Structure 1
Amino acid sequence: MPKTISTTDVPHTYTLYCPALSTSPRIARTFIATVLRSQALDHLNEAATLCTSELVTNAVVHARGPGATLELAIEATYVRVEVRDSDDRPPVLREGYDAESGRGLWLVDALSEGRWGVEPGETGGGKAVWFELRTCGGMEAALKRGEAQG
């Protein structure tokens, strides 16, 4: 039986390994949507899945390495998604873009209201690209209603 979370249970995280395969962005979107839905944060699904798809796509297409690790952290007032890979090169927010590429980080920047960035990898190099979305009271309201599930 699912456990109803309380304010003492926040923050908590979910992790997914994304191999360098063309299916990883789709699987990552489904993962994020499922977790957010289970936490009564459905209103974040569109922005969160689009931003996640962009970061995972960048990691599996452009980063050198076997894949990336996706981490979703749910806090009381925001959610944070990090995509870690083994490539030290940071992503580039280009001046312009064409019809085929270059829009990803612009979308992440717009949808996260500028709450995104890049951090150096922990040990052994690499990087973590992250974004945050405010819950706008969604988690607090769900906790009060007893709707958020663990």
Structure 2
Amino acid sequence: MPTYSPKASEIQRRWYVVDAEGLVLGRLATEVARVLRGKHKPIFTPHLDTGDHVIIINAEKVVLTAGKAEKKRVYNHSGYPGGLSEQTYADALARKPADAVRRTIRGMLPKNRLGAQQLTKLKVYAGPVHPHAAQLPEPLEIVGARRRTA
């Protein structure tokens, strides 16, 4: 029996919206990366983009556990000698929360053209408003990522 490989015309993409308020960043990122890659579908193929679109709202209200906001560093390099700059995740979330969340999810996708193509299906917004209402996104529940309040 031959191995099944889906054709581009057979891939049906859905839209999901995730409210990141109170979610742990790493757990949110793993689930979103899984949906972007298409691993939740039975037609998943590692060399094809079979994933769905994901909209993340309230990115400014995401949390990090165990003091990681102050311990973890975000590095950028300008490409010039001595051009390495660093900041804490707390600073990155305060300045550009959407970029900090997108950067975390990007690290969990393949490091090639396929990963870049899958990242284009991710839309991140710092606030609760997004311009994708016409796509009728469904809510994506991420069960294990909710921060427990004691």
The TM-score with structure 1 as length reference comes to: 0.29
Which of the pair has the greater relative contact order for Cα pairs under 8 Å at 6+ separation? Answer: 2
Query: Bigger radius of gyration, 1 or 2?
Result: 2
Answer 1 or 2: which has greater strand percent: 1
